[in-house]
Amino acid sequence: MSNLPMRPVLPKRFYKEVTVVEEEGAYAIRLDGRAVRTPARAILRVPSQRFAGVLAREWVAQVDEIDPATMPATRLANTVIDGVEPNPTSVRDDLVRYAETDLLAYRAADPERLVARQRERWDPLVQWVEAETGSRFATGEGVMYVAQAPEFVAALRERIAGEADAFRLAALHQITTLTGSLILALAVAAGRLADDEAWALAHLDEDWNIELWGEDEDAAARRTSRFSDMRAAALLLARSD
């Protein structure tokens, strides 16, 4: 008997036409004229027409079955509506914890070329966030905990508290958890970094190892999948409509 996990049973595609409609100051997806609903049965509405277009394309792209694994924007919208909008405080608190353990604080001790690469590519972001917060960001070598100054954490807490839009808050959280860096997420939100630039900075150490030892095929596939989640979140932060 095989020990491989069984493939989940996916719902069949039951619709022909996907449309975007504007209603109640937001944009909703219709399948043959019927509203798409979240897992908690709320109507799937998003504040951005551009983001709604991405949702619609995900639904159009489903062929015989509806596979949520191929729908990162839809998954994120569901998370916002069902989870973040009812309880934004827990999301803000989790983001503050990342302010205390940011990826950019943890530097390599060697080899010198990697140390120099981190310094060259990460330090401009550190300088930016120090200017934004008016406080110093601490760094250290290795994996030992690096304590951040209370005033630095407080400044980022204030910044996060001012993010009232649940979709932007969720996007910040998704980028932060994917990259391990609240600083990178804030830089994307501020338009200082594009999503692919932030992604590359978050994987600087991993890319160093790939240059030395080559890339694992399964790891590369996981990274590609995670970047689709990153891109969906960045689209919410970058919206202009």
State pLDDT tens for residues 126-159: 999 999 999 999 999 988 999 999 999 999 999 9
pLDDT digits (tens, 9 = 90+) for 156-169: 999 999 999 999 99
Please report which confidence band the pLDDT of residue 174 belongs to, taking 50, 70 and 90 as the band edges.
very high
pLDDT tops 60 at residue 75: yes
Domain boundaries, the chain: 18-71, 88-237
Q: How far apart are CA 181 and CA 216, in angstroms?
A: 24
Superfamily, domain 18-71: ATP12-like (3.30.2180.10)
Overall average pLDDT of the 213-236 stretch: 94
In the predicted model, what is the mean pLDDT of residues 106-121?
96
Buried b (16+ CB within 10 A) or exposed e, 16-51: eebeeeeeeebbbbbbeeeebebeeeeebbbbbeeb
Q: State the CATH class of domain 88-237.
A: mainly alpha
